[in-house]
Structure 1
């Protein structure tokens, strides 16, 4: 459809979208004429606006004489007319520092990166952390006191995750060490799902070198991890920023529905699926993504990779449809690349 717009229509359309991103308010022909800085009468501009409205790119809210871009219009603009800005040196440096200072564990890095993106973009930041079915580097049981132990898993990607398990009272420290040694011999370089059935079968058939207590600890650890993290972990920061533009009860209900959707595992599956099918930054405006339905929000998200160049997660922002796409798209893209580099 871009090719069907002449230069005059493109300039008028661009001016309307720029004004919408800046103010969120309808813009009329006289204001457009002043912004364009070229000799076009308001009547001529109104005719072009009428043509753009007929093509489904603009609409008139209520009885206003001004126009706003439709979601279809925004998508056309973002994918066909948008000129991306360049990240400033300060922004790039801030992203690098925040990611590097996030700590040794991947969850800390991702949480910090998400918070940082939320602050820089004035949107809600979100990240889908890697699924836990990655080959393991190390597993260990740590005593937490009577009846409790901590299971620590470290994947080859550097992801560190913990679970608390119940263990028999009065159990000696050597039992936890035996359980750790046994699982490390079985699991390192393989995924938990790959070896879980094998380990449980050995225990049931009493073909292991473990004593009864150690077997119970291993079973408790495997049970705790069963199905954990199978769809990844969704981290969202800065949700309150989505409420900044809310002016009506219907808008509030839409945002509430979005918050509820983000808490479901299906959301993580959809987000990973959306980023896994294509390279680079993905942009979803309004109802284009079924996750949002009619929430009036846009999602800008990019995948990040592990050392084997496999997509293991995604990071991005959610904001109103009038977010500053030109600034935020390169910001999300750069952050995803920094995380991929750190994981590599």
Structure 2
């Protein structure tokens, strides 16, 4: 029997495997041959046990502790999700709730309401899915509209960057000796000529090269000011991105054993790894549709044995903005959560797309 493939399973093995996984996802309990024999399987308990043993040897089922029953392994869950899971659709009431709450959170303008839409989507999804939700804010890749250095005194200036999307970044900067009003103007003009219309995070590397060559054109004080200004503005850099996590308390429901609670504590630790979580969601953003990660398929969740269901949210022009997802135990209700994540991501994309125009 081939691990990770349905081709090695005959119809009897497929049916028993499917029933075991569905029962486990519903109850969380190991499934024994006697239980299966009472669910309509037209086989003797002995025949069922033999088939379960074959599935165990194939790496699709495991025996927790001393229980006589079996539960699916992570490899078994992956096989079930990829080949046997029947995904339905979300109900009309849930659609209306998602549409209404995200529309209400978006407001009429960008700015603060952009972040409110992300927060509302995260809270909404964790409540509907019954797990913890995660949303990574997008990399803001709008072009630069205007930059300016404004003196606030003899030793301090304000570095102002205005984006094409209306965003404004203000950063306080110390002024070194030798900086005059004409120096501020010279540095501002230099950057406006080279940055206008370009995303700052894309222009950084080229600007360092250009600045080295332009030092002959700029006086030393203006060159230092340009360099300090480029360092001060984030321009959507990774370090400025936020990660929204909602619904941690949902992960504590139905956790009865010490092992269950230890896995949740490990997952809580995982949820603090902002950089790795953003990296995971950025990986989702490169794909079309919903992606599912189970257990050790991601290094971040290998110890907690958790699962992630995530989807990219994008504009109507198919430009990916970011990703949103649900995290929980491997025993997630995949059939229900997959369409929830997919629909929420699509509505969120439409909402944020409207704010960009």
TM-score of the two chains, using structure 1 as the length reference: 0.79
Specify the alignment match of 1:22 in structure 2: 26
Contact 2:161 2:233 in 1 (8 A): no
Distance 2:143 2:243 in 1: 21
Specify the alignment match of 1:165 in structure 2: 172
Contact 2:211 2:223 in 1 (8 A): no
| 1:238 and 2:250 are equivalent in the alignment | no
Specify the alignment match of 1:171 in structure 2: none
The offset of 1:279, in angstroms, is: 1.7
Q: 1:245 to 1:102 in 2, by over 3 A?
A: farther
The offset of 1:341, in angstroms, is: 2.7
The offset of 1:239, in angstroms, is: 2.5
Distance 2:65 2:280 in 1: 35
The offset of 1:140, in angstroms, is: 7.4
Contact 1:254 1:294 in 2 (8 A): yes
Q: CA RMSD in A?
A: 3.8
**Structure 1 stretches lacking a partner, 5+ long:** 169-174
Contact 1:243 1:255 in 2 (8 A): no
Distance 1:269 1:256 in 2: 17
Give the alignment partner of residue 273 of structure 1, picking from 263, 266, 283: 283
Specify the alignment match of 1:325 in structure 2: 334
Distance 2:218 2:223 in 1: 11
Structure 1 segment 111-260 matched on structure 2, within 5 A: 111-132=119-140, 134-136=141-143, 138=145, 151=160, 153-154=162-163, 156=165, 160=167, 162=169, 164-166=171-173, 187-192=195-200, 193-194=202-203, 196-197=207-208, 221-226=229-234, 229-230=237-238, 232-246=241-255, 247-248=257-258, 250-260=262-272
**Structure 2 stretches lacking a partner, 5+ long:** 176-182
Specify the alignment match of 2:73 in structure 1: 70
1:70-117 CA-to-partner distances (Å, cap 9, x unmatched) read 111100000000000211111122222222223433332222211211
Specify the alignment match of 1:309 in structure 2: 318
Q: 1:28 to 1:142 in 2, by over 3 A?
A: farther
| 1:31 and 2:35 are equivalent in the alignment | yes
Q: 1:116 to 1:85 in 2, by over 3 A?
A: same
Q: 1:337 to 1:182 in 2, by over 3 A?
A: farther
Q: 1:292 to 1:310 in 2, by over 3 A?
A: same
TM-score of the two chains, using structure 2 as the length reference: 0.76
The offset of 1:330, in angstroms, is: 1.0
The offset of 1:31, in angstroms, is: 1.9
